[in-house]
């Protein structure tokens, strides 16, 4: 996948774009070309390896508060030993990383090397960090992530076998670039991940069409007339769609259709004739108005 991205060649970067660190610039240009979440992930891992932080963890949850509802978890290494540890609810609560990411936006230095710079942890947590250090994850940096529609929290961590001094040197040299790559990479990954919903859940074209019609508020009889099939056939497709997606109500299906971009977001919809309401706010002048911008 990486070689495919490189084979197309980087686009020309103008002088006005070239002020960013080279690591960040190269990554952003390549992120523009990604077509799949796996491409984004491999690029993030490649960035980590280029700065001697080859162990990458990427987790996204369905909500800001409940980390038990994990949307996905990716690691650049065999993390089965860690996954087993986190099956325990109490072990989850020990995680300073998740507690920090749930409430804050600031990056955090992590790992055994920085244990004394964090709040006190139980002995079991220290044992876990020692096990990670023995596997090459002695120090790292973790970036809290956010997506507001729908509200989600996430965490991207780069780690390596470094002393405290060595890790701080990496952060001084590449911290800004890594932070930007984590934030933008997260958005790009979720964009592709959302679009891949039908692929992951084996939703057919007919079921996708049904999802759109349900999202538009049509009832079974109306859908049957629109598609030229019986009401019974509509209900059979509805049952199959529910099985594939795990959704049990029309409201959930409508929300899914909107989140996948099948239906427009009513909060950002345009008004008739292609005109758009635009909110204009001018600081210090107290002027707030809506302008109809016909296009």
**Span 74-90, mean pLDDT?**
76
In this prediction, residue 81 has a pLDDT band, given cuts at 50, 70 and 90, of confident
Strand 139-148, strand 151-160: pairing:
antiparallel
Look-up: residue for tokens 């700065």?
51
Give the torsion sign (CA, 115, 117, 123, 125). negative
User: Residue 144: what pLDDT?
Assistant: 93
Residues 2-195, CATH architecture:
2-Layer Sandwich (3.30)
Distance CA(105)–CA(166), nearest Å, equals 24
User: Residue 50: what pLDDT?
Assistant: 97
What SS3 state is found at 87?
Answer: coil
Q: Where are the beta strands (DSSP E) in 105-148?
A: 108-110, 139-148
What SS3 state is found at 284?
Answer: coil
In this prediction, residue 97 has a pLDDT band, given cuts at 50, 70 and 90, of low
User: Residue 2: what pLDDT?
Assistant: 40
| pLDDT, tens digit (0-9, with 9 covering 90-100), for 153-176 | 889 999 999 999 999 999 999 999
Asked if 21 and 47 count as a contact pair (C-beta separation under 8 A), the reply is: no
**Span 30-44, mean pLDDT?**
95
Q: In the predicted model, what is the mean pLDDT of the chain?
A: 82
Distance CA(253)–CA(243), nearest Å, equals 12
User: Residue 76: what pLDDT?
Assistant: 96
User: Residue 209: what pLDDT?
Assistant: 85
| pLDDT, tens digit (0-9, with 9 covering 90-100), for 207-246 | 888 888 888 888 988 988 988 899 898 888 888 888 888 8
Position 41 pLDDT exceeds 80: yes
**Span 25-36, mean pLDDT?**
94
User: Residue 84: what pLDDT?
Assistant: 65
User: Residue 250: what pLDDT?
Assistant: 85
| pLDDT, tens digit (0-9, with 9 covering 90-100), for 125-142 | 888 899 999 999 999 999
**Span 283-288, mean pLDDT?**
72
User: Residue 286: what pLDDT?
Assistant: 67
User: Residue 92: what pLDDT?
Assistant: 54
Give the range with max mean pLDDT: 90-94, 142-146, 159-163. Answer: 159-163
* CATH number among 1.10.3720.10, 3.30.390.50, 1.10.10.10, 3.30.390.30, domain 203-264: 1.10.10.10
Asked if 188 and 31 count as a contact pair (C-beta separation under 8 A), the reply is: yes
User: Residue 287: what pLDDT?
Assistant: 64
| pLDDT, tens digit (0-9, with 9 covering 90-100), for 244-285 | 888 788 888 887 777 777 766 665 554 444 555 667 777 877
Asked if 56 and 157 count as a contact pair (C-beta separation under 8 A), the reply is: yes
Q: Where along the chain do its domains lie?
A: 2-195, 203-264
In this prediction, residue 67 has a pLDDT band, given cuts at 50, 70 and 90, of very low
Position 90 pLDDT exceeds 60: no
């Amino acid at each position: 996948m990486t070689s495919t991205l490189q084979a197309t060649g980087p686009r020309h970067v103008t002088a006005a774009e070239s002020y960013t660190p080279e690591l960040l610039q190269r990554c952003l240009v390549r992120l523009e070309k990604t077509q799949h979440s796996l491409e984004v992930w491999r690029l993030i891992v490649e960035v980590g390896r280029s700065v001697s932080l080859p162990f990458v963890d990427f987790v996204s949850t369905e909500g800001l508060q409940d980390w038990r509802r994990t949307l996905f978890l990716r690691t650049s290494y065999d993390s089965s030993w860690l996954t087993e540890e986190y099956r325990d609810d109490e072990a989850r609560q020990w995680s300073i990383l998740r507690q920090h990411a749930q409430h804050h936006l600031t990056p955090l230095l992590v790992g055994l090397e920085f244990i004394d710079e964090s709040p006190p942890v139980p002995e079991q947590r220290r044992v876990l960090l020692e096990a990670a250090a023995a596997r090459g994850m002695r120090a790292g940096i973790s970036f809290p992530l956010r997506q507001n529609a729908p509200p989600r929290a996430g965490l991207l961590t780069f780690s390596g076998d470094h002393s405290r001094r060595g890790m701080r040197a990496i952060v001084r040299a590449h911290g800004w670039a890594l932070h930007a790559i984590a934030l933008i990479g997260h958005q790009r990954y979720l964009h592709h991940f959302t679009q891949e919903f039908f692929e992951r859940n084996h939703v057919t074209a007919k079921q996708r069409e049904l999802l759109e019609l349900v999202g538009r508020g049509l009832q079974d009889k109306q859908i049957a007339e629109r598609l030229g099939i019986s009401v019974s056939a509509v209900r059979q497709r509805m049952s199959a769609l529910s099985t594939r997606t795990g959704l049990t109500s029309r409201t959930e299906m409508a929300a899914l259709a909107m989140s996948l971009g099948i239906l427009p977001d009513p909060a950002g919809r345009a008004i008739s004739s292609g005109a758009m309401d635009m909110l204009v706010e001018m600081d210090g002048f107290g002027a707030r108005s809506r302008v109809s911008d016909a296009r």
